[in-house]
Amino acid sequence: MATTTFRRVPYGDNLRLAKMVRAGVPASLLVEMAGRLAISPARLAALVNIAPRTYLRRQTANARLKPDETERALRIGRLLHIAKEVLEDEDSAARWFNRSLKALGGKSPLELCATEPGAREVEHVLGRIEHGVFA
């Protein structure tokens, strides 16, 4: 499989995403995603539920994430991709992702993306923004 970068992940193609999850993505994808979110790779690794030392080992060895870790990372990436489309700007999407929102019980979208139910709620909020329900 070719080198995976955030921009090349096929977020709109569930069959290809499923294949990527099974194969795992390079740990370096977390570095790129963290840069786009303006957070540290260590914080993103924690949200993906990877222990700090494990993440450092994988990053140093240019290893792949396990399927469950890949799935959690791609969940965050997919929602960041949607936020970029809805908010029409990558910087605005990153700021929105890190901001505590009343609609999310005072949590940031990034915090809630750590779980599937939280990620679904973030997606609902993005849908409401897209349809002008609130900004």
Q: For the segment 1-33, what is each residue's pLDDT rounded down to a tens digit?
A: 445 677 789 998 999 999 999 999 999 999 999
Euclidean distance between CA atoms 21 and 3, whole angstroms:
14
- The answer to whether the beta carbons of residues 52 and 93 sit under 8 Å apart is no
Residues of the chain with pLDDT under 70: 1-4, 134-135
Euclidean distance between CA atoms 54 and 11, whole angstroms:
26
The pTM for the full model equals 0.89
What lies within 8 Å, CB to CB, of 97 at 6+ separation is 37, 79, 80, 83, 108, 109, 110
- The answer to whether the beta carbons of residues 55 and 34 sit under 8 Å apart is no
